[in-house]
Amino acid sequence: MDYRTYIAEKLKIGTLSTEEVASMLEVPPTSDMGDYALPCFRLAKTLRKAPPIIAETLKNSFTEDEVVCGVTVVGGYLNFKINRLRFAEETLKEILEKGEKYGSSRLGEGKTICIDYSSVNIAKPFHIGHLSTTVIGGALYKILGFLGYKVVGINHLGDYGTQFGKLIVAYKRWGDKEKIESGKLRELMKIYVKFHEEAEKDPELEEEARHYFKLIEEGDRESNELFAWFKEITLKEVQKIYDRLNVKFDSYAGESFYNDKMQPVIDELKEKGLLQYSDGAAIVDLEKYGMPPCLILKKDGSSLYATRDMAAAVYRKKTYDFYKCLYVVAYQQDLHFRQFFKVLELMGKEWAKDLVHVSYGMVSMEDGAMSTRTGKVVFLEDVLDKCVEKAARIIEEKNEKLDNKEEVARQVGTGAVIFGALYNNKIKDIVFSFDKVLNFDGETCPYVQYTGARCNSVLKKGGEIGAYSVPSLTEEEYAVVALLGAFPDVVREAGEKYEPSFVTRFAVELAKAYNKFYIANKIIGSEESVKNFRLALTKATHTVLKTSFRLLGIEIPDQM
């Protein structure tokens, strides 16, 4: 039941629609003030009356019923108390019936959303800087899918550029096939770094690299085989991390996929008179829009990152007919996206308005290490391993006798890394700290997981949940119910604002509310009907905690 709409329908204010009134209703900061409140200040101007008077008039024309059972005026607010028992019964019933589907919707039915995320670079390290795009994109994929959209996860691989010529040179000189096969990506990177060191002494190497890159482009068999092999090694390795983080992709069409799809875009730019030449390079002037020019072709005729992105956008529109196309990429690339979105708009692509840069902040490590070119790279794999290892140690200390400790350590350690990147508003820069993400008492992943495991153990002890009907609710019970009832709205807002942190924060709030309830209200040992109600509340909490975490890609252990 949607209480906002229910109240709004009964209120009828002037010419305002039900939706408008519903959206004005707020949830007061403390529940003794009521469950919903209408601030009448905003109505004062149109109704030409003082807010308390408006509130009083509205109150007098409102008839209470079994759904809304208390209306009061406090200052300029009109406060509503809903029938909490009814609300609790309805909410629990719905959750227990729908199970893991509770919170899902058909909002996005018939609409496709492309999500370009993670988009790693071939033969380059998968480092801590890729954490956010991978888990934010992964969470949006699940959240939007849960809201009924058809989602297409795209890994726009960085698989084009002169670096592949360099890699071939490096491999031919210092590469050892077996070593690379077994040492994989890191071995490949080693020879790449060596290339740069050697090239400083011997500039001929650069020339040679350009030659090989050209060979790749011209379709030379051997060079392309090597290139395909580098790609395979990288993808195999990244796949392991994707599996650990619970993310998946429907397409790995990377930059090189657009080699033969850029010319039509370039031709169209020319035709529409948008292309200009400056120092031999082809550009689109964006001065009018307060931006530097968008580079389309280099002096030597080779294409650029933006050219590929434009061809990719056109291809995606044609292939998927998207409703929205999201790019989960760090804010360093803000300008790049603004530029090529604008160029597409100037080309007359009306769908350019549906391209969205989902920008996010940087992740750095507590000890100052960051993903830079200087070799101080923090591999995501190492961060995951270390966090799982640390989790294992903590679990050993806290609960030595726990069954399948290793599995739990994996769930806790991996979850903590994901949660660390999804807890804050995505645009904020974050400093990653192992101690912080693994703290069992803060607003953290283990805290929520522990609460989930607690629910599970209560349910096990409680046995089957029989019939219940309760005469009243405690404040703690109601606080849990109110959150449970808000879950569908939270998911919808997270999807609308592309902000998975809404779900993360919600899970923490729900865990906190449940623990408060657990401490203040006896479950097992209470009178039968009360016990059953509290077990149902526990079961609903467990379900919703699990769903929220599943949408983020985090597992909740059965025991902890």
Q: Which amino acids are annotated catalytic?
A: 124, 127, 130
Strands 294-297 and 324-330: what pairing?
Answer: unpaired
Q: Smallest distance from the beta carbon of 91 to ligand ARG, in angstroms?
A: 41
What does the alpha-carbon distance between residue 504 and residue 426 come to, in Å, rounded to a whole number?
11
Least separation in angstroms between residue 153's CB and ligand ARG is 12
Using the minimum distance from each CB to ligand ARG, give the nearer residue, 254 or 485. Answer: 254
State the Cα–Cα distance between residues 233 and 95, nearest whole angstrom. Answer: 45
Q: Shortest distance, CB of residue 327 to ligand ARG, whole angstroms?
A: 5
Strand partners, 339: none
Min CB(375)–ligand ARG separation in Å = 18
Which C-beta is closer to ligand ARG: that of 312 or that of 416?
312
Q: Is 134 or 411 the residue whose CB approaches ligand ARG more closely?
A: 134
For 473, the token pair is: 């609710």
Using the minimum distance from each CB to ligand ARG, give the nearer residue, 129 or 145: 129
Alpha-carbon radius of gyration of the chain:
28
What are the DSSP calls for 462-487, one per residue? H-S------S---HHHHHHHHHHHHH
Helices and strands per DSSP (H, E), number in the chain: 20, 12
Backbone phi, then psi, for 65, in 5-degree steps? -145, -165
Q: Which residue lies nearer to ligand ARG by CB, 327 or 478?
A: 327
**Residue 359, strand partner residues:** 329
For ligand ARG, which is the closer residue by CB, 208 or 309? 309
CB of 304 to ligand ARG, least distance (A): 11
Contacts of residue 367, defined as CB under 8 A and 6 or more positions apart, other chains included, come to none
The residue written with tokens 């040679």 in the block is 208
- Judge contact between 289 and 279, C-beta under 8 A: no
Q: Minimum Å distance from CB 124 to ligand ARG?
A: 8
Phi/psi for 269 (5° steps) reads: -60, -40
Instruction: Find residue 251's DSSP bridge partners.
Output: 154
Among residues 321, 308, 362, the alpha carbon closest in space to that of 136 is found at: 362
| Beta strands 77-82; 36-39: pairing state | antiparallel
Q: Is 119 left (phi over 0), alpha (psi -120 to 50) or beta?
A: left
Q: What is the C-alpha to C-alpha distance for residues 118 and 460, in angstroms, rounded to an integer?
A: 40
CA dist 155 and 134 (Å) reads 10
CA distance 298 to 408: 52
Closest approach of Cβ 120 to ligand ARG, in Å? 7
CB of 116 to ligand ARG, least distance (A): 5
Cα-based distances in Å from 237 to 231, 232, 247, 388, 416: 10, 9, 14, 19, 21
* Other Cβ atoms within 10 Å of 229 Cβ, number: 15
Compute the least distance from the CB of residue 129 to ligand ARG, in Å. Answer: 8
Q: Is 498 left (phi over 0), alpha (psi -120 to 50) or beta?
A: left
Signed CA dihedral, 52, 56, 58, 59: sign only: positive
Query: By C-beta, is 320 or 468 nearer to ligand ARG?
Result: 320
Q: Pick between residue 372 and residue 433 the one whose CB is nearest to ligand ARG.
A: 372
Instruction: Please tell me what DSSP assigns to residue 354.
Output: G
- Among 152, 138, 144, CA closest to 492: 144
Pairwise CA distance, residues 259 & 255, whole Å: 8
95 vs 355 by CB, closer to ligand ARG: 355
Positions touching ligand ARG (CB under 6 A) are 116, 119, 121, 156, 158, 309, 327, 329
